[in-house]
Amino acid sequence: MSEPIIELRNVSKRFGPTYDAAARLTREIASRFGRTPKSETVHAVDNVDLTVSRGEVVGLVGESGCGKSTLGRMVAGIMPPSDGQILFKGRDIASLPPDAVKDAKLKVQMIFQDPYASLNPRLRVAEIVGEAPRVHGMIPNGQFDSYLDGQLRRAGLDPAFKRRYPHQFSGGQRQRIGIARALAVQPEFLVCDEAVAALDVSIQAQILNLFMDLRRDLNLTYLFISHDLGVVEHLSDRVLIMYLGRIVESAPSEEIFGHPNHPYTQALLSEVPRIEARKRRFTAIKGEIPSPMAPPAGCHFHPRCPHAMPRCGIEAPALREIAPGHKSACHLNG
Amino acid sequence: MTATLEVRNLRTHFFTRAGVVKAVDDVSFSVERGQVLGLVGESGSGKSVTGFSIIGLIDPPGRLAGGSILYQGRDLAKLDERDMRHLRGNRIAMIFQDPMMTLNPVLRIDTQMIEAVQAHIKTSKAEARTRARDALGMVGIPSPEERLNSYPHQFSGGMRQRVAIAIALLHNPDLLIADEPTTALDVTIQAQILAEVQKLATDHGTALLWITHDLSVIAGLADRIAVMYAGRVVETGEAADVLDRPAHPYTHGLIGSVPSRNKRGDRLAQIPGMTPSLLSLPAGCAFRGRCAHASTACEQEPPVAEPTAGHAVRCFHPIQGAPA
């Protein structure tokens, strides 16, 4: 096991409304009269621990609203956590001096889902990709063009296109621009948030192959966020399953796809449409994903769980090791 | 027995200032009663336009430029708007990718559903409401009576899609066209919706045309599959034939690019290049620029070959018996 590059300790993220003076006063009066004001806080990420080692590809899977993108954004340093610590190479980012924070943040880059919304439509490709390394002084004088061409070629783009604007490219090519932009500042860690979800299957395969080539050539570490279990299974060494802000299961890929432990993981895996399947009967987990504004008490999954016991509605199960490297948060494990 | 839907040599062209876009070009297929046909293709392949053509929702500059759409033997392409209106939403229904497009955001669900019932049968408002409630119950919406009073924004995405499906099912249609109805939904919700439509096909004998880009969904759902590329059906056949023994190099490539099928960490088989613009299609086979098997012969119009009965492929060099 090589050294951890990113470590999250008890990280939480809450989103709540900001109250103006009148609202604060109303809530104050209400509480004086013995009424508890309604909590309007969303626990997007709830006490998550996560360690990613150098060279590893960690897949983060969950359905919409489970907090996987928020977690990714905190790892990428776009959003500060409400609680907990994020360590980069063993040092807490929040306690670093400003220069060191900048360096740490440059080493972690993010690739976004929507190749249409994540590129500035008024900038040329050369500016989109070249601006950050130029500003951060990563390019020796007079070598801007050769540096830029190299970055574009590495992402599979023809440098002849660098004077063009994003709208002149197809979705797959735009995603390559986003990848070139992220790699231009020589990161060690990439957070890919649904980076292939918006692409057609044949283009998706091209981009996934590119990710694997880059991992090999640049010794990159990935946090690969996706709702597509097929993609995650293909790419990841280790997989985390998230449900309503909590990590419910974490294990090496073969283990989680071969022996899923948590009832949610099992249900998720059984419902993944697979191309090997022929004309089968679809069955479904009952119920909807609850609102993260009012998650069920205890284990968040218990209202939909076929094995729910009384205890599940009261006490949240801890994420515990059930086999070497395999953790699961379920009371069924005793 | 006549097929519920038989599309013959359908052409839907868009006459734009930049030129004629042949979005659907000589497409033929049929769907029998109770059968599910998967119409598979990537963006721009013409699969959605095919669906819109059948239900008569092509707006200018697009129009049907040829071919026939036989619904129980009647040619929909020749029907006038009044007769088409009588069928649409009644015998033929459609579910769209985005349920917000189908539902009016400022009307309550009951208003919209009662209107849909009364558009086709003479009945009292109370009866129409009962019918609407039963339809909501059928697609698995809890406490349908109360939910009738809700507005679309009060539903989650999956629930909204169920409401859209309930409206499509109000009159037990003979033909249901579903255009990527589960693409925006989560896996667990998608499975619920798939279970509902599957029940519909078996219980009511509804013929289903399922339009999608997702081969994995279609593998578990469809009886037959038609693969579209650049406005044409390049391969069609029983689901097992097309998926296990793909004959067209494009189908072969498409199946190879699905991650779940490949071994973990291996390179995915990728199709080089990208879909050509429909405005400047090459002569002959539209796929030849990306095809490893292309030869000079491919500059001509490819013939339709039948590797086995009921399995047709439009290619000069079909792949033989090789699993993808």
Write the pLDDT tens digit of every residue in B41-75. 988 889 999 999 999 989 888 999 999 999 998 99
* Tokens encoding B172: 């037990």
Residue A157 has pLDDT above 60, yes or no: yes
Mutate to test the interface with A, among B183, B188, B189, B267 (most CBs of A within 10 A): B188
Q: State the DSSP H helix or E strand holding residue B220, giving kind and residue range, or none if neither.
A: helix B215-221
Looking at the partner chain, which of A202, A280, A282 has a beta carbon nearest the beta carbon of B270?
Answer: A202
How far apart (Å, rounded) are the C-alpha atoms in residues A21 and A50? 38
Cβ–Cβ under 8 Å, residues A270 and B212: no
Chain A: give the shortest CA distance to residue B209, in Å: 15
In a domain, A94, yes or no: no
Among B50, B2, B14, residue whose Cα is nearest residue B236: B50
Among B42, B49, B284, residue whose Cα is nearest residue A170: B42
Residue where the block lists tokens 């997702």:
B214
Query: What is the domain count for chain A?
Result: 1
Cβ–Cβ under 8 Å, residues B216 and B159: no
Among A67, A103, A115, A107, residue whose Cα is nearest residue A190: A107
Mean pLDDT calculated for residue range A240-245: 93
Q: How many CB pairs under 8 A join A and B?
A: 144
Looking at the partner chain, which of A202, A231, A279 has a beta carbon nearest the beta carbon of B220?
Answer: A279
Q: State the DSSP H helix or E strand holding residue B195, giving kind and residue range, or none if neither.
A: helix B187-204
Q: Write out pLDDT tens, residues B40-49.
A: 998 888 999 9
In a domain, A268, yes or no: yes
How far apart (Å, rounded) are the C-alpha atoms in residues B275 and A202? 10
ipTM for the whole complex: 0.78
- Which chain A residues touch B240 with a CB distance below 8 Å? 278
Q: Chain B residue closest to A215 (CA)?
A: B265
Residue A229 has pLDDT above 80, yes or no: yes
How far apart (Å, rounded) are the C-alpha atoms in residues A243 and B188? 12
Cβ–Cβ under 8 Å, residues A199 and A173: no
SS3 B95: strand
Where in the sequence is the domain holding A283, given as residue range(s)? 247-334
What is the pLDDT, as a whole number, of residue A192? 94
What is the pLDDT, as a whole number, of residue A300? 92
Residue B113 has pLDDT above 90, yes or no: yes
What is the Cα gyration radius of chain B? 21
Cβ–Cβ under 8 Å, residues B316 and B284: no
CB count within 10 Å of CB B106 equals 9
Is B213 within 8 Å of A200 when comparing Cβ atoms?
Answer: yes
What is the pLDDT, as a whole number, of residue A27? 81
In a domain, A230, yes or no: no
SS3 B72: coil
Residue B324 has pLDDT above 90, yes or no: no
Strands of the sheet with A42-53, listed across from one edge? A42-53, A4-15, A83-88, A91-92
CA atoms within 13 A on the CB side of B124: 3
In a domain, A197, yes or no: no
Mean pLDDT calculated for residue range B140-169: 87
First to last CA, chain B: 35
Q: Write out pLDDT tens, residues A206-225.
A: 889 999 999 999 999 999 99
Percent share of chain B, pLDDT over 90 = 50
Cβ–Cβ under 8 Å, residues A191 and A157: no
- Which chain B residues touch A224 with a CB distance below 8 Å? none
Q: In the structure, what pLDDT confidence band is assigned to residue A293 with cuts at 50, 70 and 90?
A: confident
- B233-238: long-range pairs with CB below 8 Å, 24+: B233/B27, B233/B28, B233/B29, B233/B314, B234/B287, B234/B313, B234/B314, B234/B315, B235/B311, B235/B312, B235/B313, B235/B314, B235/B315, B236/B29, B236/B311, B236/B312, B236/B313, B237/B308, B237/B310, B237/B311, B237/B312, B238/B310, B238/B311
* Tokens encoding B294: 């292309």
How far apart (Å, rounded) are the C-alpha atoms in residues B143 and A40? 26
Looking at the partner chain, which of B192, B214, B259 has a beta carbon nearest the beta carbon of A234?
Answer: B259
Domains and CATH numbers, chain B: 5-91+171-314 (3.40.50.300)
Is A202 within 8 Å of B221 when comparing Cβ atoms?
Answer: no
In a domain, A43, yes or no: no
Phi then psi dihedrals of residue B232, to 5 deg: -125, 150
Among B296, B214, B186, residue whose Cα is nearest residue A244: B186
Q: State the DSSP H helix or E strand holding residue B228, giving kind and residue range, or none if neither.
A: strand B224-229
Q: State the DSSP H helix or E strand holding residue A144, giving kind and residue range, or none if neither.
A: helix A144-154
In a domain, A278, yes or no: yes
CA atoms within 13 A on the CB side of B183: 21
Is B219 within 8 Å of A230 when comparing Cβ atoms?
Answer: no
How far apart (Å, rounded) are the C-alpha atoms in residues A127 and A120? 10
Mean pLDDT calculated for residue range B88-96: 92
Residue A35 has pLDDT above 80, yes or no: no
In a domain, A325, yes or no: yes
- Which chain B residues touch A197 with a CB distance below 8 Å? none
